[in-house]
């Protein structure tokens, strides 16, 4: 039987045996079902069977049609399964009817994804965001959440809650949503202050984005190892949603220019809308970035599908038009892969072997600093803040301490050239 633990998870690590159920409305869902299996694996659930029905649309009452439901009940009994996972988001009615008909717990793809996120969230803000998404998912389904989600009704694993109970639960959830909204607002303000501070440092921001398990964290680690910063590597794992809380690292290129690299949460098809909404503030970092590195797994046969899913989530976040490079990662596993068909913004790379990064780096540099011009500035000694500002961005090509101030040779962006126009250094006299 499903239970909640303290972390608001639906599924506890106790062994579960699940049967996957899907509705095929025309497009091939074999990959989608396979991915559902991987999601179950990421939540620690064993999958022992699968049942797909071809239908024009999911049955409004029971998701699968009547005949298939009988088949599914039989399969559950034969496999001794205690859980059915539906490949699509279910309504409260569908959840309730299915549980009654099957006598096992029923969850859907959304609940499964929310559960994985709940178990992975580390930061306070991440936890709040996931809880918010869970509550918003639960609210319209209260009467259907009999077996799996009746914690708030008190009757874990018992019958669905009665009307009076439902009303109390609803009020309870609404109150909690209000509390979380308030706390998240405080976090957001806090982050706004932090961001304003990093904006002042003027470092360009590059964000990694893409389908889950495509290798975003590995690409970050490759950058770190090229910058000889292996000590601050991030976790990379063959598991969906390894990265949940964004991490930022400072990358210094060989020519001394610097940027902030941000590793973010991956996307998956049918990513719950409530979750995208809840993560909006975390993903602001993607929206604010100067450049996106969209990482895709070149060894995955239907990589275009992953690219499309990522693009549509980015568009939903308002980051669809950002400057972007498309990195086809894992080419060590797909030696015949060519990125040519994807246009001049596409690169074939391998985070594992380092292949392709030599061509990629100059391109990133061009995109971030194409407008830079090597400029000589002379900063008076009472403006140490300006010297720090420039040094945080890049190591100056030359630096000298003269009688009138610090003389530096730095590659300035158009914006910085304007800012530093009062400090242009007089031309050095030609040496005869
Ligand atoms: N062969 C090969 N494996 C890779 C490469 N890049 C990443 N991987 C593997 O792919 C798996 C996923 O890598 P991650 O870097 O964790 O992927 P991610 O996109 O950050 O995944 P999430 O954070 O879970 O969304 C790991 O097992 C990596 O070792 C590569 O270039 N070649
Ligand atoms: Mg990752």
Instruction: Indicate the length of the chain as a whole number.
Output: 432
Ligand 2 center from residue 117 Cα (angstroms): 13
Residue 327 CA: which ligand is closest? 1
Higher pLDDT pick, 10 / 86: 86
257 Cβ closer than 6 Å to some ligand 1 atom: no
Higher pLDDT pick, 145 / 160: 145
Residue 216 CA: which ligand is closest? 1
Residue having the nearest C-alpha atom to atom 25 of ligand 1: 212
Number of H helices, E strands in the chain: 13, 13
Atom of ligand 1 nearest to the CA of 212: 25
266 Cβ closer than 6 Å to some ligand 1 atom: yes
| Max CA distance (Å), the chain | 97
Atom of ligand 1 nearest to the CA of 220: 15
Ligand 2 center from residue 233 Cα (angstroms): 11
Share of the chain above pLDDT 70, in %: 88
pLDDT-derived band at 192, boundaries 50, 70, 90? low
Three-state SS across 298-333?
Answer: CCCCCHHHHHHHHHHHHHHCCCCCCCEEEEEECHHH
Ligand 2 center from residue 265 Cα (angstroms): 7
Name the residue among 259, 286, 267, 287 with its Cα closest to residue 364.
259
pLDDT-derived band at 155, boundaries 50, 70, 90? very low
CA gap 370, 373 in Å, rounded? 9
Higher pLDDT pick, 377 / 272: 377
DSSP secondary structure string for all residues of 122-179:
-SHHHHHHHHHHHHHHHGGGTTT-SSSSGGGGT-TTSSPP-HHHHHHHHHHHHHHHHH
Residue 42 CA: which ligand is closest? 1
298 Cβ closer than 6 Å to some ligand 1 atom: no
221 Cβ closer than 6 Å to some ligand 1 atom: no
pLDDT tens sequence across 285-338: 788 888 999 999 999 999 999 999 999 999 988 888 889 999 999 999 999 999
Name the residue among 354, 368, 35 with its Cα closest to residue 218.
354
What pLDDT score was predicted for residue 79?
93
Ligand 1 center from residue 414 Cα (angstroms): 37
pLDDT tens sequence across 35-64: 999 999 998 899 999 999 999 999 999 999
pLDDT-derived band at 33, boundaries 50, 70, 90? very high
258 Cβ closer than 6 Å to some ligand 1 atom: no
Atom of ligand 1 nearest to the CA of 213: 21
What pLDDT score was predicted for residue 99?
92
CA gap 96, 85 in Å, rounded? 14
CB atoms inside a 10 Å sphere around CB 144: 21
What pLDDT score was predicted for residue 152?
35
Ligand 1 center from residue 216 Cα (angstroms): 7
Higher pLDDT pick, 126 / 219: 219
Residue having the nearest C-alpha atom to atom 2 of ligand 1: 330
Mean pLDDT of the chain: 86
Ligand 1 center from residue 124 Cα (angstroms): 26
Residue having the nearest C-alpha atom to atom 3 of ligand 1: 330
Domains, the chain: 17-163 (3.40.50.11060), 203-369 (3.40.50.300), 373-423 (no CATH)
* 3-7, 28-32, 125-129, 205-209, range with greatest mean pLDDT: 205-209
186 Cβ closer than 6 Å to some ligand 1 atom: no
Mean pLDDT over residues 144-170, rounded? 55
Share of the chain above pLDDT 90, in %: 51
* Contacts (Cβ under 8 Å, ≥6 apart) of 185: none
């Amino acid at each position: 039987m499903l239970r909640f633990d303290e972390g608001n998870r639906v599924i506890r690590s106790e062994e579960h045996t699940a049967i996957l159920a899907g509705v095929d409305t025309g497009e091939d869902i074999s990959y989608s079902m396979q991915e559902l299996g991987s999601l179950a694996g990421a939540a620690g659930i064993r999958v022992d069977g699968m049942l797909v029905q071809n239908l024009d649309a999911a049955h409004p009452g029971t998701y699968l049609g009547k005949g298939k439901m009988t088949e599914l009940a039989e399969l559950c009994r034969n496999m001794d399964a205690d859980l059915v996972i539906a490949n699509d988001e279910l309504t409260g009615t569908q959840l309730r009817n299915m549980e009654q008909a099957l006598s096992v717990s029923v969850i859907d793809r959304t609940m499964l994804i929310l559960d994985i996120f709940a178990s992975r969230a580390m930061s306070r803000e991440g936890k709040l965001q996931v809880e918010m998404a869970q509550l918003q998912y639960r609210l319209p389904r209260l009467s259907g959440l009999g077996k799996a989600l009746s914690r708030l009704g008190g009757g874990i694993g018992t019958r669905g809650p009665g009307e009076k109970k439902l009303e109390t639960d609803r009020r309870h959830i609404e109150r909690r949503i209000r509390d979380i909204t308030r706390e998240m607002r405080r976090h957001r303000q806090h982050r706004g202050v932090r961001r304003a501070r990093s904006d002042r440092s003027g470092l360009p921001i590059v964000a990694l984005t893409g389908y889950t398990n495509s290798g975003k964290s590995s690409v970050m680690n490759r950058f770190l190892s090229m910058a000889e910063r292996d000590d601050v590597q991030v976790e990379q794992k063959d598991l969906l949603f390894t990265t949940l809380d964004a991490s930022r690292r400072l990358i210094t290129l060989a020519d001394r220019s610097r940027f902030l690299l941000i590793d973010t949460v991956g996307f998956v098809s049918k990513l719950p809308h409530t979750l995208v909404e809840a993560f909006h503030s975390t993903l602001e970092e993607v929206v604010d970035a100067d450049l996106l590195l969209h990482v895709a797994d070149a060894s995955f046969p239907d990589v275009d599908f992953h690219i499309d899913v990522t693009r549509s989530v980015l568009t939903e976040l308002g980051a669809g038009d950002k400057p972007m490079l498309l990195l086809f990662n894992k080419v060590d596993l797909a030696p015949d892969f060519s990125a040519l068909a994807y246009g001049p913004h596409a690169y074939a790379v391998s985070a594992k072997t380092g292949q392709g990064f030599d061509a990629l780096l100059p391109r990133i540099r061009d995109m971030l600093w194409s407008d830079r011009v090597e400029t000589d500035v002379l900063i008076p000694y009472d403006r140490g803040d300006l010297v720090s500002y420039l040094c945080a961005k890049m190591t100056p090509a030359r630096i000298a301490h003269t009688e009138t101030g610090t003389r530096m040779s730095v590659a300035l962006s158009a914006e910085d050239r304007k800012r530093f126009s009062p400090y242009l250094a007089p031309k050095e006299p030609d040496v005869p």
